[in-house]
Structure 1
Amino acid sequence: MQQENSRRSNRERSDTTRAAILDAARGLFVTRGYADTSTPDIVAAAGLTRGALYHHFEDKKALFRAVAEREAGAVAASIEQATADGLTPREALKVGARAYFDAMREPGRIRLLLLDGPAVLGRQDMVAIDAANAQRTLAEGLAEAMAPAAPKREKLSAMASLLSAAFDRAALDIADGASREIYAETIGTLIDRMVSA
């Protein structure tokens, strides 16, 4: 029993340390950008040692990837929470679009996921991160809304990818001052046309 408590305690300490590193890195990546953030800056902000950082992350790029994955997971969780109850699949897609726009209003998230993410990790890695998170929920929603006539997996994946790109562009434009309502209505029109096709 004591050994199990010790393992749990070690795991909890490890999780706490990892979270502190991620939080400090996120703050610095958002305010300074990836290029202008050093690992000594991150450990100083986290109040930890470089050894602790390198115990959890291979290098700064791996740390950035973990930050991006956590952000993408938070976006997907926001969408899933907003679309959890009593909606038709088509309604869920439209509500999910609005939830995506709301989730992307979190300070720094656009920079991390849409601007610095592709520059630091490369487009393919960011596509993979998105595919495991928000784009996954989008593809599932399209399949449900188009059932029983949903297209084959490859075409459905292409549709989700294109719609996801439209969401990202809309989020960028909204962040620059465009009307969220107009973009939400326009995305809704795209969803209606895709689902009805």
Structure 2
Amino acid sequence: MPRPAEPGRNALLDAGAEIAGRTGLRGLSVNAVVAAAGMAKGTFYHHFPDRRSYVVALHRRYHEELAATILAAVGDRAPGRDRLRVGLTAYLDGCLRTRGTKAFLAQSRTDTDLLDEVNARNLAFAQVIAPDLAALGWPDPAAVAHLVIAMAAEAALAELYAAAPRPDLRAALTALIERDQSGCGAG
């Protein structure tokens, strides 16, 4: 059973985030993590039973910090256009400045150890924005939210590769979401 968060555990997670930012998930070996943290290998196993549980913890921490940033940005705004725009901007800005974004947005999609985590996180974010999409008139906000999450992740990766915000992608994402929904869903 892993120990609760404490300085040693956090130091290992910090080291992993730094390594993931430089080399991706494939460079995230136990040896590399303990070397970067300046700790003995045995210390790693006091906090994490194996590499898989460590990578899952690292992924969760990345997304929890990103979610906290988004929730702080949207504050108590009512569901709708403004909240959705502010949340998407906070997400994209957060991805640009957070270590390990490429590893946790792109590489985690193909890491079998993280597939369940990725799906759960995408579902959680989709549930957060579904009320915004309902307020905008989308007939199936849950399905649209799933697609918006995928589009936002793709925009985040494009910005990461450009090392700067992509106003064109941000504007296109917003325009697609806010289009008139009056004809949607009609067979």
TM-score range, shorter chain: 0.7 to 0.9
Of residues 169, 175, 179, the one that matches 1:189 is 175
Does the CA contact (< 8 Å) of 1:34 and 1:116 recur in 2?
Answer: yes
How many residues are paired up?
179
Alignment of 1:93-104 (within 5 A): 93-104=84-95
Letter of the structure 1 residue corresponding to residue 170 of structure 2: A
Q: 1:77 to 1:141 in 2, by over 3 A?
A: farther
Of residues 12, 22, 25, the one that matches 1:21 is 12
Alignment of 1:17-166 (within 5 A): 17-86=8-77, 89-120=80-111, 121-132=113-124, 134-143=125-134, 145-146=135-136, 155-166=140-151
Give distance in 1, aligned partners of 2:114 and 2:37.
27
CA drift of 1:167 comes to 0.5
Q: 1:194 to 1:77 in 2, by over 3 A?
A: farther
Does the CA contact (< 8 Å) of 2:25 and 2:103 recur in 1?
Answer: no
Local SS of the residue matching 2:49: coil
Unaligned runs of 5+ in 1: 1-9
Q: 1:23 to 1:168 in 2, by over 3 A?
A: same
Does the CA contact (< 8 Å) of 1:142 and 1:195 recur in 2?
Answer: no
Does the CA contact (< 8 Å) of 1:20 and 1:46 recur in 2?
Answer: yes
Give distance in 2, aligned partners of 1:173 and 1:57.
33
Q: 1:74 to 1:60 in 2, by over 3 A?
A: same
TM-score using structure 2 length: 0.81
Percent identical among aligned pairs is 30
Letter of the structure 1 residue corresponding to residue 169 of structure 2: Y
Q: Which residue of 1 aligns with 2:161?
A: 176
Letter of the structure 2 residue corresponding to residue 69 of structure 1: R
**Greater helix fraction, Structure 1 or Structure 2:** 1
Letter of the structure 1 residue corresponding to residue 25 of structure 2: Y
CA drift of 1:166 comes to 0.6
Q: CA RMSD in A?
A: 2.6
Letter of the structure 1 residue corresponding to residue 150 of structure 2: A
1:139-159 CA distances to partner (integer Å, 9 max, x unpaired)? 34334x25xx775xxx43322
Give distance in 1, aligned partners of 2:32 and 2:157.
28
Give distance in 2, aligned partners of 1:16 and 1:42.
15
Q: Relative to structure 2, which stretch is displaced further, 88-97 or 187-196?
A: 187-196
TM-score using structure 1 length: 0.77
Letter of the structure 2 residue corresponding to residue 117 of structure 1: S
